[in-house]
Amino acid sequence: MRDGIAILGMGCRYPGGAHSPEALWELVCAGRNGISDRRRLGRPAGVLDDLAGFDAAFFGIASGEAAEMDPAQRLLLEVTFEAIERAGLDLDALSGTATGVYLGLAISDYGRRHLLAPSGPLTPWSGTGTFLSVAAGRIAYLLGTHGPAISVDTACSSSLVSLHLAASALRAGECDLALAGGVNVVLSARVTAWLASLGALSERGQSRPFDASADGYVRGEGAGMVVLRRLSDAIADGDPILAVIAGSAVNQDGRTNGLTAPSGAAQQAVIRAALRSAGLQPGDISYVETHGTGTPLGDPVEIGALRAVYGEIDHPLGLGAVKGNLGHTETAAGVAGVIKAVEALQRGIWPPIAGLSAPNPRLGALGPLVLPTEPIPWPGDSPRVAAVSAFGMSGTNAHLILSAPPPRPAPGAVEAPAWGEG
């Protein structure tokens, strides 16, 4: 019998004051966004307020070493420890355990500025504070854990791929607990200018997924982490279960019209593979947190893939797009979608898509697909099951299936299989 993967705790930092899963949900449900006109990047962006603030002493890190650390590493420590505490776990008790760490992150703007500068002093911490590989290793080091510690870069799908790898490792017995997520810190105006040259960024400075006026995305910063455990173990120990990863899949576009061009066929394939992984049919899904970048090319391709998979279901399928609230947080985008979807499952609400006023006519007929412009109560009384997509400009795609937690059995009752266990 296939074991589902329980989500026990979550921690995050996202724009607009979304410094907890609850605050992120409030931002999303209100249809607000955290995009500001601050000109750190020369154009509007969803930026975090205080990248410099960090309690080094709490983590047992010397002030000199902390000063050399990429803000991305600092954010990861903060949201990881918060997720562990929210899961009701003792930080000290993790020492010596087979706990894995799986992180999605990419180019270090801080490292390029700091370590590769032609002048300036180098210290023993100059490399460890900026290397992407060390980000995962540092978490394992501070916690004293012995499971895999892996940093993943598949561009925009990185953090969702990290959750897929963590879930796979738990099922394979490579670890007994897993910490998975991602981070994105945007410091380079040059990288931003390169993305603008590709036509990816909005000239209006707005992220408006699926809207007729959408002209690209706004870059965003953020970090999110989740604590994962095999569902059977979590139930046996009475752990708090927020949601269950019933299945997931990762694939690649291969050859397309261009290296960074999306593939509708590959998106369909990864969705179908995730459904098979979960032992579910398209009709079992009632909400999809989309990749939803708000690009003129990407949005119609994604809707076309969703329509191909879900177009024949007999009930409405709500769609979400958290990039309308946060901008595109890139390597931290997938886990943002997961946190939002978990909150939606728990609260029984389809939240609105921020910035959506009139659907893009290039999307075509939506069929059962619903683009909410206001909060909608989750329809029906069948078990709530959602999905999350993330598609990397590298061509690597990920899709993950989430279900509401199983009901706690009454004392002495025989428990029925939960979603993700069949």
Catalytic member of 19, 114, 164, 291? 291
C-alpha span between 368 and 358 (Å, rounded): 17
**Amino acid occupying residue 53:** G
Catalytic member of 19, 156, 164, 399? 156
Q: Is 19 tagged catalytic?
A: no
Catalytic member of 19, 114, 164, 328? 328
Q: Is 156 tagged catalytic?
A: yes
- Output the CA–CA distances (angstroms, integers) from residue 399 to 210, 238, 288, 338, in the order listed: 19, 28, 10, 10
The β-bridge relationship of strands 5-13 and 317-320 is unpaired
Is the C-alpha dihedral spanning 84, 100, 187, 44 positive or negative?
Answer: negative
C-alpha span between 69 and 215 (Å, rounded): 35
C-alpha span between 244 and 241 (Å, rounded): 8
* Cβ burial, residue 240 (10 Å; 0-12/13-18/19+): middle
C-alpha span between 273 and 341 (Å, rounded): 20
258 close to 35: Cβ distance less than 8 angstroms: no
388 close to 227: Cβ distance less than 8 angstroms: no
- Is the backbone of residue 37 left (phi > 0), alpha (psi -120 to 50) or beta? alpha
| Helices 264-278/298-310 angle, 10° precision | 40
**Amino acid occupying residue 269:** A
Q: Is 291 tagged catalytic?
A: yes
Known catalytic residues are 156, 291, 328
